[in-house]
Amino acid sequence: MQPSIRHYHPLADFYLDEGCYINELSNSPEDPDLSIARARVPVGVTTRWHRLEGVTERYCIVQGEGRVEIGDEGSATVATGDVVIIPPGCRQRISNTGDGDLIFLAICTPRFDAAIYRDLEAPAETGP
């Protein structure tokens, strides 16, 4: 790995069906041990239940307030400066309960890859 600076590009945000906007700040095969994404959840939105297989995720809340649900732990209030630690395979979702965007850094170890994402609310596929 070579030293580098990855600049933030606000127009690189993309929407996920999960219910939030993501901006991949750092996620590359050259740095496989960690990824960092900026997540933005609009006012009043609750993301879909999901889990990450084999990856520990941390939500570092940088703006706003919300309610997070992890596994069977019930819900907890989170606000700027809080860190939520989500073990591999643990179901999770977050709600924006504030009056502005809820923004957090999603830090994954090892790095996030779409193949490890499991949407727990996706409609079941039916056969012919």
pLDDT of 124 strictly over 70? no
The highest-level CATH class for domain 15-119 is mainly beta
Cis peptide before 110 (omega within 30 of 0): yes
The span from the first CA to the last CA of the chain, in angstroms, equals 48
**69 exposure class (CB count in 10 Å sphere: 0-12, 13-18, 19+):** middle
Q: Which residue has the tokens 């649900």?
A: 69
Count of CB atoms situated within 10 Å of the CB of 36: 19
Instruction: Give pLDDT tens digits for 52-84.
Output: 999 999 999 999 999 999 999 889 999 999 999
pLDDT of 122 strictly over 60? yes
pLDDT of 123 strictly over 90? no
Domain segments of the chain: what residues?
15-119
